[in-house]
């Protein structure tokens, strides 16, 4: 991986997190190219990371082994068609982090036969604790899959999908998932304050509890249902709270929420693909 050159098209927050993760992981800064239209952003990227910056997309991808499309979904078609002739000559793997853009549409804009990896990261990638699913088309080699995986693993956990249709479920679970936990934490913080805790105390206890629960779940050999039962003593305070959640239909509500997110991901894919 360290002998490869990676070009980023777009230097926004997600690109910055990936660049920072790569460099922290030992990837040479001088092998990273970033195309960014904003001169101020270019200066900041160069000063912060020591990477080469340019305002020209084609200049950035000239000698790249991997090209990360980190632009807004609404402009990705124009970017792809601009770069298509050059990428057809180099055969660089195209890694798209644009939400909702299907591999088939991206391949159509780039020209059939190019290696394409579609990825769905989430916002905790900004603090190197992301969860990313990847899907590669059949033109992508084992080495190119490894390049894409190494890139995303620099900011968190990665997993591969064999069926791109599962990406809608990924969007619902992990792509949108941080917001669900933020909502729960927001609600717990408010409830703690309503019960008489100072607001800052309620906030800190809520956030540390969320962090601790996630860490326990990741490191334990038990599944989350078992962990929940282990901390729910019969007749105790936790049991009363869990029963209130169950009586309120929390499981059904979560299922409805994730289905709504997955359905919207599918419709967005239709809309964006028909640009």
List the binding residues for NADP(+): 9-14, 70-73
- What is the DSSP secondary structure assignment for residue 175, as one 8-state letter? I
Q: Kindly tell me the burial class for residue 173, based on how many C-beta atoms sit within 10 Å of its own C-beta (0-12, 13-18, 19 or more).
A: middle
Secondary structure (3-state) at 7 = strand
For the residues of 166-232, what is the DSSP string, one character each?
Answer: GHHHHIIIIISHHHHHHHHHHHHHHHHHHTT--HHHHHHHHHHHHHHHHHHHHH-SS-HHHHHHHT-
Residues 96 and 119 sit within 8 Å (Cβ to Cβ):
yes
CB under 8 Å to 212, separation ≥6 — which residues? none
CA distances from 92 to 58, 89, 150 (A): 13, 9, 16
Q: Write out the two tokens for 267.
A: 């419709």
Q: Which of 72, 71, 90, 111 is nearest to 4 (CA)?
A: 90
Show binding-site residues for NADPH. 57
Calpha distance 9→71 (Å, rounded): 7
Calpha distance 135→259 (Å, rounded): 21
Show binding-site residues. 9-14, 57, 70-73
- What is the DSSP secondary structure assignment for residue 55, as one 8-state letter? S
């Amino acid at each position: 991986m360290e002998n490869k050159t990676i070009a980023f098209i777009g230097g926004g927050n997600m690109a910055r997190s990936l660049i920072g993760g790569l460099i922290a992981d030992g990837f040479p800064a001088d092998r990273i190219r970033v195309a960014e239209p904003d001169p101020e952003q270019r200066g900041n990227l160069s000063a912060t990371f020591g990477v080469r910056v340019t305002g020209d997309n084609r200049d950035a991808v000239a000698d790249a082994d991997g090209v990360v499309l980190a632009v807004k979904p609404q402009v990705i078609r124009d970017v792809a068609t601009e770069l298509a002739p050059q990428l057809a000559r180099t055969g660089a793997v195209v890694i798209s982090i644009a939400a909702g853009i299907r591999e088939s549409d991206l391949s159509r804009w780039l020209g059939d036969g190019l290696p394409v990896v579609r990825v769905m990261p989430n916002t905790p990638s900004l603090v190197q604790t992301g969860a990313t699913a990847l899907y590669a088309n059949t033109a992508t080699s084992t080495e190119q899959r490894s390049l894409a995986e190494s890139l995303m693993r620099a900011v968190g956990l990665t997993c591969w999908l064999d069926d791109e249709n599962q990406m809608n479920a990924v969007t619902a679970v992990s792509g949108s998932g941080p917001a669900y936990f933020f909502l729960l934490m927001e609600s717990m913080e408010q409830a703690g304050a309503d019960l008489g805790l100072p607001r800052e105390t309620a906030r800190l206890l809520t956030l540390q509890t969320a962090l601790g629960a996630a860490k326990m779940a990741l490191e334990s050999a038990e599944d989350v249902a078992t962990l929940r039962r282990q901390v729910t003593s019969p007749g105790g305070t936790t049991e009363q709270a869990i029963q209130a959640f169950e009586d309120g239909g929390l499981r059904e509500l979560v299922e409805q929420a994730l289905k709504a997110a997955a359905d919207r991901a599918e419709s967005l894919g239709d809309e964006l693909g028909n640009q």
